[in-house]
Amino acid sequence: MADFWKDRRVMVTGGAGFLGSSVVRRLRDAGATEIFVPRSAQYDLRTHDGIARALADGRPDLVIHLAAVVGGIGANRENPGRFFYENAIMGIELMEQARNAGVSKFVGVGTVCSYPKFTPVPFHEDDLWGGYPEETNAPYGLAKKMLLVQGQAYREQYGFDAIHLLPVNLYGPGDNFDESSSHVIPALIKKCLDARDRGDDFIEVWGTGSASREFLYVDDAANGIVLAAERYDEGAPVNLGVGHEITIRDLVTLIARLSGFEGELRWDATKPDGQPRRALDTSRAREKFGFAAGTSFEEGLRRTIEWYTTTRANRHGRLPTDPLGKELLGRD
């Protein structure tokens, strides 16, 4: 749909981060030529003035809001207040100012963490309000969930075209491999490769291994976001995922095999498993804007391991060191 993007000015918050970089590439492939990525060194999107200047300089017709302060279970447990406040204030103020600036469409990208802890599997969008999120990441999940409420309220009162997408856990080349803030796949890849290279006999893994997760390759997620921006104009939230899950125990076994680590896997059951299960019903995305993930899980893992292996060897690429995920805010 190159005609959709022709002469359309797009602002992508977090556009220099893991998911954002992939979204910017996909936008260019789709025909977008006017893409503005506000970098946090110049535009602090947690402040009124930072957002105002970004909108004034970018003059967007469409905003894709990806910027977030994120992390794994450990980072969420250590920073619940900051994760709530910074994610909430950034999204709420950005949507309000975008509406006042005449932005024609706002694409809010939320999180699977917004779902209740014991959501029936597969998670359907209608189950989003069936309970409280899993405790370790509830502040983050609820902060992002408020953007759905805001978007629906603005659609009803002002006719503002705000949509809300719910991607499942992402992975892929360019992910955050910092030990203090990484999510499960990059954390396990690094752990296995480090242990292999040191000749360790075992690695220790958090939890029991019984929890399950669904994972979406980052380029597939970017494709879904761009398709939704082009084709979806309704207030109901939409899941982005692959539609099947894997237990953490099976995930660790697979990553160990692909990484070449042959030692023992030891489970620390004193550490939390997080939400018991995650797997999405992806039918709405398929029906509403034709999205289906195209990358097999094993192939996606191979590409991710290869990228990290090369990056680590060359000492190049993005290996964030900020435990609060500053690269997702678009910072260097």
Read off the pLDDT of residues 283-327 as tens digits, 9 standing for 90 and up. Answer: 999 999 999 999 999 999 999 999 999 998 886 444 443 333 333
Percent of the chain's residues with pLDDT above 70: 93
Within-domain flag for 65: yes
pLDDT tens-digit profile of 156-189? 999 999 999 999 999 999 998 987 778 889 999 9
Per-residue model confidence (pLDDT) at position 321: 38
pTM, to two decimals:
0.90
Structure tokens at 4: 């959709």
Please enumerate in sequence order all residues whose Cβ is within 8 A of that of 170, keeping only pairs 6 or more positions apart, or say none: 18, 19, 183, 215, 216, 217, 218, 221
What's the rounded Cα separation, in Å, for the pair 138 and 117? 9
pLDDT tens-digit profile of 188-243? 999 999 999 999 999 999 899 999 999 999 999 999 999 999 999 999 999 999 99
SS in 3 state form for the chain?
Answer: CHHHHCCCEEEEECCCCHHHHHHHHHHHHHCCCEEECCCCCCCCCCCHHHHHHHHHHHCCCEEEECCCCCCCHHHHHHCHHHHHHHHHHHHHHHHHHHHHCCCCEEEEECCHHHCECCCCCCECHHHCCCCCECHHHHHHHHHHHHHHHHHHHHHHHHCCCEEEEEECEEECCCCCCCCCCCCHHHHHHHHHHHHHHHCCCEEEEECCCCCEECEEEHHHHHHHHHHHHHHCCCCCCEEECCCCCEEHHHHHHHHHHHHCCCCEEEEECCCCCCCCCCCECCHHHHHHHCCCCCCCHHHHHHHHHHHHHHHHHHCCCCCCCCCCCHHHHCCC
pLDDT tens-digit profile of 64-97? 999 998 776 777 788 899 999 999 999 999 999 9
Within-domain flag for 123: yes
Within-domain flag for 66: yes
213 within 8 A of 278, measured Cβ to Cβ: yes
Per the DSSP assignment, residues forming a β-bridge with 162 are 106
Within-domain flag for 29: yes
- What's the CATH code of the domain at 55? 3.40.50.720
What's the rounded Cα separation, in Å, for the pair 176 and 141? 19
User: Annotated catalytic residue: which of 140, 154, 217, 232?
Assistant: 140
Annotated active-site residue 154? The verdict is: no
Within-domain flag for 305: no
Within-domain flag for 17: yes
Domain containing 133 equals 2-173+214-244+277-295+318-329
Within-domain flag for 269: no
**Apex CA 176: angle with CA 175 and CA 180, to 5°?**
155
Within-domain flag for 188: no
